[in-house]
Amino acid sequence: MKNRRKARELSLQILYQMDVRETPVEEALNIIFSRYRFRAEVKEFAERLIRGTSQFLLPIDFLIKKYAKNWTLERMATVDRNILRFVIYELLFLENVPPIVSINEAIEIAKRYGTSDSGKFVNGILDKIRQERGPGSFLNWTYLKNSLQKDPYLKELTRIKGKEKLWLVGGCLRNLLLGREKKDLDIVLDDPEFRIVQLFVSQVKASLVVLNSTLRRVVFPEKTVIDFILKKSQSLKADLLQRDFTINALALDLDFLDMPHLALIDPETGLEDLINKKIKLLREKSLEEDPLRMLRAFRLASQLDFEVEEKVVHLISSKSSLIKKVAGERIRDELCLFLKNPFSHRCLVNSSAGVLLEKIFGQAPNLENLKRLEILLSNEKVLSRNLKKKIDLHLETEEKMMISRRDLLKIMALIFSPVQEKLTPSSAGKRLKLSRAHIKIMQRVEQLYPKLKKIIGSQKNTQLIAEFLIEAKKELVEISLLLLAVDVSQPASSRLVIQLLKEYFKKSSLILHPPKLIGGEELMKLLRILAGPDISYLLSKIHQAQVMEEVKTKEEAIEYAKKIAHEIGKGKEQNHMIEAPLPSK
């Protein structure tokens, strides 16, 4: 320990001389080590600190400027400045030294060689860096570093870019620091011609989409997307401050993928807010520039399990009407991302979120519906594990535009009411610019929901249930879950609905893709019936009998069809007798 203390004091002495006299590192080391003798451990550790600090002096000084609030490097005492320099290097690069040891040593050295305030000054800065960037930080710097270094596209960009500056920005860095998977990448560049993008596309065999004069999108076969954004301001910091939230304003020069903890740029309080799990705006005006950011604040809170800052909540409440200016497609995409959280209803407890949804839909959302639905979908006491697994598989089916059946079901729950409101789920779907396929699903749910209530309310009728299973098809799952979430007054009804869900999954292949036991033409020949509605009716009755497991073979289907045809014939005879005119007297 004494040798390490001496090595640190020696490092301060040499760095001080280099700073004051502008002496190059090799010259400064030669002067000291040629004049004085030191123990091997002292010399080795001091050299390591001095060479490392000198190698990364620019990014280290950048960090000092960031964390020393209201101080410039020039205004700092030379002793304090150089203690900070070598101890920041020690904190971020020497993994075998506990961070608390490095900071305590810095405080003691500052007290001895600096002013009466030096110890407190260096402690404040170093402890903040330790919390946000050190090895004991809440943030996952190792995961970030490993993920970036393994990324094949970033490797290729680093290889071909030459001296051109490229910065990785935004959500990718945020997610990796939180230990989450990265999805798409955003790269900021300086070249208005986007030459590096054209070269990159030719190397990786991807598709290039020109979105506008400042944005190029590269799409890969596996659906990975990289957006290349032209830097608009002279400084990167000015560009970053134009973004929405502090946690999305992070950036990393591609030259420093191997040392993000040192080189990551955070122009405001992004790292601090990631640690504190806060959604904070960079500027109040950003909500007016793009009102969709109001919904995005709650979406990020939902996705990341964060809390929207109270100041932002009040601002959203006062500006909520601006959301009407946003295109339905953009609202749809944000809303679906928001609803992907299994417990998204928790973020809607906030009154501002409810107000925002009311502005979007034109009526107050049914938050209790969503809450009950999400609890139901996560509760194995209500839905058995096996049934829940089948429901999850069904709901994760993506229909179009990366929107799943689960997303649609949650949107329906927010809007749906057994008492007809002025807004139906399908009309809300049209406002959100959902596809025709999505709206058709919603319309079928609206139309068939009353039928299910009627069936559940009457005595159990296997034929009615079979008819409903065939008519509802896949939408039976959504209708049943919606009924369980909305109509919670009768436990007996809930048991019947759950039984119906089990019946659907047990017989789904019979319901959706029944084996063809007999065709229409063959029935016409066997029963001597002409083409018409009777044949369609017979085929539908055979399908019902298959679902009820009364008919399994061709022979059984023929016999069943003869029986139904006979009943049809008798019915027609009776109708003919009723309609026949009375004989005249």
In a domain, 322, yes or no: yes
248 in Cβ contact with 170 (< 8 Å): yes
Please tell me the predicted confidence (pLDDT) of residue 420.
Answer: 59
486 confidence band (pLDDT: 50, 70, 90):
confident
In a domain, 585, yes or no: no
Instruction: Tell which residue, 294, 409, 428, 429, has the closest CA to residue 350.
Output: 294
- Residue 460, pLDDT above cutoff 80: no
End position of a domain, from candidates 249, 275, 301: 275
Note the pLDDT of residue 577. Answer: 45
Assess whether pLDDT exceeds 60 at residue 529: yes
Using pLDDT thresholds of 50, 70 and 90, give the confidence band for residue 395.
very high
Mean pLDDT across 482-496: 80
- Tell me how many domains the chain contains: 5
Highest mean pLDDT among 199-208, 244-253, 394-403, 424-433: 244-253
Average pLDDT over residues 185-189: 96
Whether residue 85 is found in the same domain as residue 156: no
**Helix orientation angle between 385-395 and 491-512, rounded to the nearest 10 degrees:** 60
Q: What is the DSSP letter of 252?
A: E
CA dist., res. 197 & res. 195, Å (int)? 5
**CA separation for the pair 45, 118 (Å, rounded):** 24
Considering the domain architecture, whether residues 378 and 506 belong to the same structural domain is answered as yes
Mean pLDDT computed over 431-437 = 92
pLDDT at position 536: 87
- In a shared domain, residues 84 and 167: no
365, 389, 419 - which closes a domain = 365
Predicted pLDDT at 580? 46
Pairing state between β 207-212 and 278-279: unpaired
Res 585: pLDDT: 44
Alpha-carbon gap, residue 523 to 538, rounded angstroms: 9
Task: pLDDT band for 578, please (50, 70, 90 cuts).
Answer: very low
Structure confidence by residue, pLDDT tens digits, 411-431: 999 998 766 556 788 999 999
Q: Does one domain contain both 155 and 252?
A: yes
Average pLDDT estimate for 311-325 = 94
Q: What is the mean pLDDT of the chain?
A: 90
Kindly state the average pLDDT of the residues 535-557. Answer: 88
Contact indicator for 425, 462 with CB cutoff of 8 Å: no
Q: Are residues 360 and 384 in the same domain?
A: no
Task: CATH number of the domain at 216, please.
Answer: 3.30.460.10
Same domain, 334 and 386: no
Look at residues 530, 527, 528 and name the one whose alpha carbon lies nearest to residue 542. Answer: 527
503 lies in the same domain as 379 = yes
- Residue 404 inside a domain? The answer is yes
Is residue 413, in this structure, part of any structural domain at all? yes
pLDDT digits (tens, 9 = 90+) for 553-564: 988 888 888 888
Kindly report the CATH number assigned to the domain that includes residue 117: 1.10.940.10
Q: Is there a domain that residue 100 lies in?
A: yes
Contacts of 287 (CB under 8 A, 6+ apart): 281, 293, 294, 315, 316, 319, 322
| 488 and 528 fall within a common domain | no
Q: Is residue 327 located within the same domain as residue 387?
A: no
| Co-location of 483 and 567 in the same domain | no
Q: Contact 275/138 with Cβ under 8 angstroms?
A: yes
Residue 427 counted as domain residue: yes
* Residue-number span of the structural domain to which 227 is assigned: 141-275
* Domain identity same for 124 and 148: no
> Does 389 lie in the same domain as 340?
no
Average pLDDT over residues 498-514: 92
Among residues of the chain, what percentage have pLDDT more than 70? 95
Q: Range with the lowest mean pLDDT among 25-39, 205-219, 459-473?
A: 459-473
Check whether 161 has a pLDDT greater than 70.
Answer: yes
End-to-end CA distance of the chain: 130
Q: What are phi and psi of 140, to 5 degrees?
A: -95, 75
Distance CA 53, CA 42 (A): 16
Q: What is the mean pLDDT of residues 577-585?
A: 48
pLDDT in tens, 82-116: 999 999 999 999 989 999 999 999 999 999 999 99
Of the three residues 365, 386, 413, the one that is the final residue of a domain is 365
Q: What are the beta bridge partners of residue 272?
A: none
**Does 572 score more than 80 pLDDT?**
no
CATH number at residue 312: 1.10.110.30
CA dihedral angle for residue 429, residue 431, residue 432, residue 433, rounded to 10 degrees? 90
